[in-house]
Amino acid sequence: TRDWAVEMGFGLFAAPGFESQTVTVVANTRAIDVGALNKALAARGLSIADGYGSLKGRTFRIAHMADTTEADMRELFAAMNEHLSHA
């Protein structure tokens, strides 16, 4: 997930060494419309979480915990890539 974020031109919010193993907080350095992205993902039964408070729109969170598989993550990234290629 962190590799995807960096490869797509986003930043990582957590300082190196303090990253979570269950959720990645992506710095929205590309200034995308996170709400529009999440709406497009919802149409496919997928979702991410917007930042909250002062971080709303400036970050978004991608969960990768519990029974989430690599295939689930590949599906999410493919859907996100498709949306971002048209944004």
Digit-coded pLDDT (tens) for 53-75: 999 999 999 999 999 999 999 99
**What pLDDT does 87 receive?**
77
* pLDDT mean across residues, the chain: 97
Rounded CA-CA distance 42/53 in Å is: 22
Mean pLDDT of 35-45: 97
Could you tell me the CA-to-CA distances from 42 to 10, 14, 16 in Å, in that order?
Answer: 21, 26, 31
Rounded CA-CA distance 39/37 in Å is: 5
Rounded CA-CA distance 82/25 in Å is: 20
Both tokens assigned to 86:
């048209």
SS3 for 77? Answer: helix
Rounded CA-CA distance 17/44 in Å is: 33
Model pTM score: 0.93
